[in-house]
Amino acid sequence: MKPIQIGALAALVATSVALGAPDLAVAQTAKGGRGSAAAPMAQDAQMASKIRLTRKTPAYWEVTFNNPPLNVVGPAEVRRLVEILDQIEADPNVRVVVFDSALPDYFMAHYDLLKPLEESTGMASGPTGMHPVPDFMVRLSRLKAVTIVSIRGRASGIGSEIALAADMRFASREKAILSQFEVGAGFPPGGGPTARLPRLVGRGRALEILIGADEINGELAERYGYVNRALPDAELDGFVDKLARRIASFDGQAIADTKHLVDQASLPPDAESQAGWDAFVADVQRPGAQGRVTALVKQGLGQPGDLEEHLNQYTAKYPK
Amino acid sequence: MKPIQIGALAALVATSVALGAPDLAVAQTAKGGRGSAAAPMAQDAQMASKIRLTRKTPAYWEVTFNNPPLNVVGPAEVRRLVEILDQIEADPNVRVVVFDSALPDYFMAHYDLLKPLEESTGMASGPTGMHPVPDFMVRLSRLKAVTIVSIRGRASGIGSEIALAADMRFASREKAILSQFEVGAGFPPGGGPTARLPRLVGRGRALEILIGADEINGELAERYGYVNRALPDAELDGFVDKLARRIASFDGQAIADTKHLVDQASLPPDAESQAGWDAFVADVQRPGAQGRVTALVKQGLGQPGDLEEHLNQYTAKYPK
Amino acid sequence: MKPIQIGALAALVATSVALGAPDLAVAQTAKGGRGSAAAPMAQDAQMASKIRLTRKTPAYWEVTFNNPPLNVVGPAEVRRLVEILDQIEADPNVRVVVFDSALPDYFMAHYDLLKPLEESTGMASGPTGMHPVPDFMVRLSRLKAVTIVSIRGRASGIGSEIALAADMRFASREKAILSQFEVGAGFPPGGGPTARLPRLVGRGRALEILIGADEINGELAERYGYVNRALPDAELDGFVDKLARRIASFDGQAIADTKHLVDQASLPPDAESQAGWDAFVADVQRPGAQGRVTALVKQGLGQPGDLEEHLNQYTAKYPK
């Protein structure tokens, strides 16, 4: 636990409040509208650098998580993600989007559990009518463009959930660590892995991942089908870039029509994503979860250090 | 084939009859009720030692099959399993249940084909309205507690089916042998693998397992997704115990809610389990199946020895 | 590109036209009937040698693709396949059918894109009411007999699709190359892999296979679950033959009933196969696809040579 980084975290909280998130949410509700590129937050240069959108070519975009120290995602980051999603949906030329991280040790630690829950639950619904988190996940899956996630470092909680909602996942064999730690913290994961993992890896391995709530390294993630493949770390970036450029060279209508057919065969009903979010919100407020989360926060949750690096061990140490 | 063990088998048959299974079934039907801890059989110390329930902690239970020589399961054993299931369902504190075997070579050979079929078909329905075998399987899957099966030795027929109906399966890499041998004996498997295996390992591998009806060793079972993982035999018990204790330390509501969400995404409809049982009962009575089963019994089915150790070879030797 | 083989291809086109496919199609429509063993084409010795049916025993049949140089399948070959399917459906004794290739380098290159599209779209519907291609695929999956595909060499497009519609797939570890190249050529695959692959290998790997549209070798195909297993080339034939003989020795009713139960749990709805075919027909006529297909034909598509051996590279080279 390094004081300077606690400071950074506090600054992040202050920034978020200063951005007027609740007001924005109210405004959106009043319009019945959705986060758009014109919203004030969208122009925030700081947030745009934290989740960076790069148009490598008109057909090939890259979204890079660059939100040190842990790439934690909270309400402000969700709004930025929705804004990027809006842009992908609106551009007929983009055919492939790669999601990666600029931080070597973290693809994304997890959702921000330090902010008041109301900041999250109070967000205006997205176009599907669902809360922005499940809304983002189901819209991400249904994009006409293909989405590829490149995982290096830890992808826990919402990091794993974004990976699962995307189309393909490739992991560093040596440096990727996936996990859905939530049950260990006293609540179910809310971003849809309960719907997606069983369809991807089968019920048995899904239950192990979700309820064992332990670390899954790159090699095991491939063996389970949690990721498409685990590649040697030195080859990961090149492999993903080559695949993305290959797909970007293909015909957009052929891609979209093929993906739509696969969607019919494989996407979970939206109701399951909604149910997952509802279960998360309900359970995270229960005393059982509050006790565990508080204990984890006291030990360093949300800050770089031993707890985040061994969250799977800390979740197992809660005194009964 | 060792005479003393044939004797043991005969004794087992006698015991079962003495327990008055048909009367019990009638009584249950009259009440419209279900097997409960108060039933006479439940107090039978012999059966309780054959399928042993150990409360390692209030949250972590263990069910051990200890029914030598083969851990065959027939009507009496099904009643004992249902009784244990009732206890798991009724206890709000149990969060994880491990199923294992005390016999080194057999997790469970298969269903008892030596008893008259009427003893099985005449059993009173369970709370789902289905026969106790499919009823047990679907209730096992829906328990709030997490179930983990540890497989060492042969898990054939109903042994494989119980493993598939449980939440997670771990196998000894050297000593586990899984199989659904039934098609080789002339009838479809009745305990639900036709519904569960395709969803777990995909249609192609499910058809190979079910219709090839051959042995699947631990390594191949992992590669196919038939089990979560195959572990070195020396590590299996420690791994399962550690995972169970980890899960037992978590919050029960978080576990139950997460499992319920996964159930929505992954459990087959009960109607498929009923259809599987019906197909088994219908086909096992056909002359084709009777000829094969009779030939297998003559050669040693249900008795320890060469046939049980090479059932996959004997099923392929039936003269046409 | 060898001139003599271009000659052979031209001869194949001429043969197909001479067979009067359109007339046959009209006749079938008028009868509301289906391709049957009595149709003129069925007696064509040349076609019977191109797709050879061998009754190894009354219970064990073999279908061998022997249509050099590439085992391309077009309307005439589809009619031959339907004719064989009719025979399998009509014979109560056949319990297992193996599909393999007599050409060492090609299981099946892909659908014939050199013939006018009308020859394909004008074919009379099959008994499911669908076009003969999706009709063949869904009927193949629902046969009472078990179907096993043995893949050596390239299985692209409809070659992969037939493999996926069959019950089990085994591949040469060294010599099998699977691919759904279609998106690279500007259109979605039409023979059902959009419905079948996601259920077999999960959404992520299915999207990679279908939209990456690249080569998948035997080893990766096994890792993904695209095939049941990849076996050393020297063992493939023996393994498949042994498995087929084993299944052929089993009871036909037990096989059919078990397969029917698995069908309930795993077959995609026919509507998805129809939708896949419709999307293929619509997209292949768009300028985007026509430009790509024309460019590929000019470079050697449908002829033995460099393009067919590296189709995955040629599809990525289309100038934008």
pLDDT in tens, A82-119: 999 999 999 999 999 999 999 999 999 999 999 999 99
Determine the residue among B201, B208, B214, B274 to mutate to test chain C binding: the one whose Cβ has the most chain C Cβ atoms within 10 Å.
B208
pLDDT at A222 over 70: yes
pLDDT at B17 over 90: no
Reported as a single tens digit per residue, the pLDDT across A255-268 is 999 999 999 999 99
A62, A83, A182, A222: which is the annotated catalytic residue? A182
What amino acid occupies position C295?
A
What average pLDDT score do residues B199-224 get? 98
Reported as a single tens digit per residue, the pLDDT across B54-90 is 999 999 999 999 999 999 999 999 999 999 999 999 9
For residue B11, the model assigns a pLDDT of: 28
pLDDT at B20 over 60: no
Contact partners of B by the rule of 3+ C-beta pairs under 8 A? A, C
Q: Do B203 and C261 touch (CB under 8 A)?
A: no
For residue C236, the model assigns a pLDDT of: 98
Q: How many CB atoms lie within 10 A of CB C162?
A: 25
pLDDT at A8 over 70: no
pLDDT at B14 over 90: no
Q: Do A204 and B169 touch (CB under 8 A)?
A: yes
What average pLDDT score do residues A174-178 get? 98
pLDDT at C13 over 60: no
In whole numbers, what is the pLDDT of chain A averaged over residues? Answer: 88
Reported as a single tens digit per residue, the pLDDT across C242-293 is 999 999 999 999 999 999 999 999 999 999 999 999 999 999 999 989 999 9
pLDDT at C51 over 70: yes
Q: Do B203 and C267 touch (CB under 8 A)?
A: yes
What average pLDDT score do residues B223-231 get? 98
- Chain A neighbors of B264, CB-CB under 8 A: 194-195, 272, 275
Q: What percent of chain C has pLDDT over 90?
A: 84
**Would you tell me the crossing angle of helices B193-201 and B158-165 to the nearest 10 degrees?**
60
pLDDT at B169 over 70: yes
Q: Do C258 and B183 touch (CB under 8 A)?
A: yes
Could you tell me if B318 lies within 8 Å of chain C, comparing CB atoms?
Answer: yes
Q: Do A257 and C210 touch (CB under 8 A)?
A: no
For residue A320, the model assigns a pLDDT of: 61
For residue A11, the model assigns a pLDDT of: 28
Q: Is A219 a catalytic residue?
A: no
- Chain B neighbors of A205, CB-CB under 8 A: 168, 225, 228
Q: List Cα–Cα distances, C22 to C16, C123, C136, in angstroms.
A: 10, 7, 19
Q: Which residues of B140-155 are buried (b: 16+ CB within 10 A; e: fewer)?
A: bbebbbbbbbbbbbbb
Residue of A nearest to C313 (CA): A246
- Chain A neighbors of B173, CB-CB under 8 A: none
For residue A319, the model assigns a pLDDT of: 75
pLDDT at A43 over 70: no
For residue A44, the model assigns a pLDDT of: 77
Q: List Cα–Cα distances, C87 to C36, C78, C90, C94, in angstroms.
A: 8, 14, 5, 10
What average pLDDT score do residues B212-239 get? 98
Q: Residue A29's pLDDT band (boundaries 50, 70, 90)?
A: very low
In whole numbers, what is the pLDDT of chain C averaged over residues? Answer: 88
- Chain B neighbors of A279, CB-CB under 8 A: 257-258, 260-261
pLDDT at C304 over 80: yes
- Chain A neighbors of C315, CB-CB under 8 A: 250
Q: Residue B320's pLDDT band (boundaries 50, 70, 90)?
A: low
Q: Is B308 a catalytic residue?
A: no
C161, C222, C272, C308: which is the annotated catalytic residue? C161
pLDDT at A140 over 60: yes
- Spatial CA neighbour of C266 closest among A267, B158, B212, B197: B197
pLDDT at B130 over 70: yes
For C235, the token pair is 């063992």
For residue C2, the model assigns a pLDDT of: 34
Residue of A nearest to B246 (CA): A316
Most confident of A22-36, A152-166, B35-49: A152-166
Kindly report the pTM of this predicted structure. 0.89
Give the integer Cα–Cα distance in Å for B139 and A8.
50
- Chain B neighbors of C261, CB-CB under 8 A: 188, 194-195, 272, 275-276, 279
In whole numbers, what is the pLDDT of chain B averaged over residues? Answer: 88
Q: Residue A24's pLDDT band (boundaries 50, 70, 90)?
A: very low
Nearest by CB to A265, from C186, C198, C213: name it.
C198
For residue B1, the model assigns a pLDDT of: 31
Reported as a single tens digit per residue, the pLDDT across A232-260 is 999 999 999 999 999 999 999 999 999 99
C62, C83, C119, C182: which is the annotated catalytic residue? C182
What average pLDDT score do residues B280-289 get? 95
Could you tell me if B186 lies within 8 Å of chain C, comparing CB atoms?
Answer: yes
Reported as a single tens digit per residue, the pLDDT across C291-302 is 999 999 999 999
pLDDT at C201 over 90: yes
pLDDT at B193 over 90: yes
Give the integer Cα–Cα distance in Å for C312 and C290.
18
pLDDT at B112 over 60: yes
Could you tell me if B319 lies within 8 Å of chain C, comparing CB atoms?
Answer: no
pLDDT at A41 over 70: no
pLDDT at A28 over 70: no
pLDDT at B268 over 90: yes
SS3 labels along chain B? CCHHHHHHHHHHHHHHHHCCHHHHHHHHHHHCCCCCCCCHHHHCHHHHHHEEEEECCCCEEEEEECCCCCCCECHHHHHHHHHHHHHHHHCCCCCEEEEEECCCCEEECCECCCCCHHHHHCCCCCCCCCCHHHHHHHHHHHCCCEEEEEEEEEEECHHHHHHHHCCEEEEEEEEEEEECCHHHHCCCCCCCHHHHHHHHHCHHHHHHHHHHCCCEEHHHHHHHCCCCEEECHHHHHHHHHHHHHHHHCCCHHHHHHHHHHHHHHHCCCHHHHHHHHHHHHHHHCCHHHHHHHHHHHHCCCCCCCHHHHCHHHHHCCCCC
For residue C318, the model assigns a pLDDT of: 83
Lowest-pLDDT range of A32-36, B265-269, C22-26: C22-26
pLDDT at B23 over 70: no
pLDDT at C8 over 50: no
pLDDT at A36 over 70: no
